[in-house]
Structure 1
Amino acid sequence: MDFYFPTEFGEQLAFGAAAFTALVGFVIMFAPGYAMRLFGVMPREGRRDGYAEQRSVGGFYLGFGLSAIMLAQNWIYMALGAAFAMAAFARIISLLSDKGSTILNYLLLVVQIILAALPLAYVFGFFSA
């Protein structure tokens, strides 16, 4: 089985968003303590459930990113973009209603918007000639 790397620029951007998602998922899954420190969230004393939740989310990101890379289909890229668009929308709700207006939240919002835009732009033909 050969490794597929897209030849079209738009699909390369969507592929890159999927690869970044898989990479972030890998880091979160196998280094949840580092990821929690990076995002400024730590579990309470004596409770280790936060690590399980982080690993689970990391596994989801890793699986979704790898699925998009391996299958390289428009519907998979659309699902990836739609999922990140909903995550960005949820972050906007949090910024407005939870008083979560921090630099990190704005930075992560920008990252989520980019990760939503790249696969969706490819699927909807914004990069076609």
Structure 2
Amino acid sequence: MEFYIPTETGELAAFCAAIATGLFGLFALFAPGMALKLAGLQTREGSREGFAFVRSAGGFYAGLAIVALMMAQDWIYMAIGGGFALAAFGRILSLMSDRSFTVKNLLVLFAQVLLGGLPLAYVFGFF
């Protein structure tokens, strides 16, 4: 099987979103402590379950991204876009109801909207 790098702009944007998702997933998979710290979270003293959760979520992101990069199919790009779109919706709900309106949350929201919007824009023909 040959590795495919897209040449058209829309598919390249979705491809780049998949790469960013994969990098984020690999970071969480192999450096869960740093990922928790960046998110402003910490584990309880004497408990390591938080690391297991972060590694598992990171593995999910990395796995989905790797499949998207290897298969380059619209449905997989749609899964990445839909996942990030719902994550952005959850962050907006948090901004409104939890009063978590900070610069950090706005930057992460922007990243989620971008990582969700690029693949969805390609799949639905906006690129």
Normalised-by-shorter TM-score class:
over 0.9
Structure 2 match to 1:66: 66
Separation in 2, partners of 1:78, 1:4: 18
SS of 1:3's partner is coil
* TM-score normalized by the length of structure 1: 0.95
Alignment partners' CA distance in 2, 1:99 and 1:117: 25
- Cα-to-partner distance string for 1:51-103 (whole Å, 9 max, x where unaligned): 00100110011011111111111111111111110000011111111121121
Unpaired runs of 5+ residues, structure 1, are none
Alpha-carbon offset, residue 13 of structure 1: 0.5
Q: CA deviation at 1:46?
A: 1.2
- The one-letter code matched in structure 1 to 2:43 is P
1:51: which partner in 2? 51
Structure 2 length-normalised TM: 0.96
Give distance in 2, aligned partners of 1:48 and 1:73. 37
Aligned length: 127
Equivalent-residue separation in structure 1 for 2:93 and 2:40 (angstroms): 19
Residue 37 of structure 1 deviates from its aligned partner by: 1.2
Looking at structure 2, the residues matched to 105 and 56 of structure 1 have their Cα atoms a distance apart, in angstroms, of 23
What is the percentage of aligned positions where both structures have the same residue?
57
Aligned CA-pair RMSD:
0.8
2:91 corresponds to which residue?
A: 91
* Cα distance in structure 1, aligned partners of 2:36 and 2:46: 16
Q: For 1:68 and 1:2, how far apart are their aligned partners in 2?
A: 14
Alignment correspondent of 1:7: 7
Segments of 4+ moved more than 4 angstroms? none
Partner of 1:105: 105
8 Å Cα contact 1:39/1:104 also seen in 2? no
Runs (5+) with no aligned partner, structure 2:
none
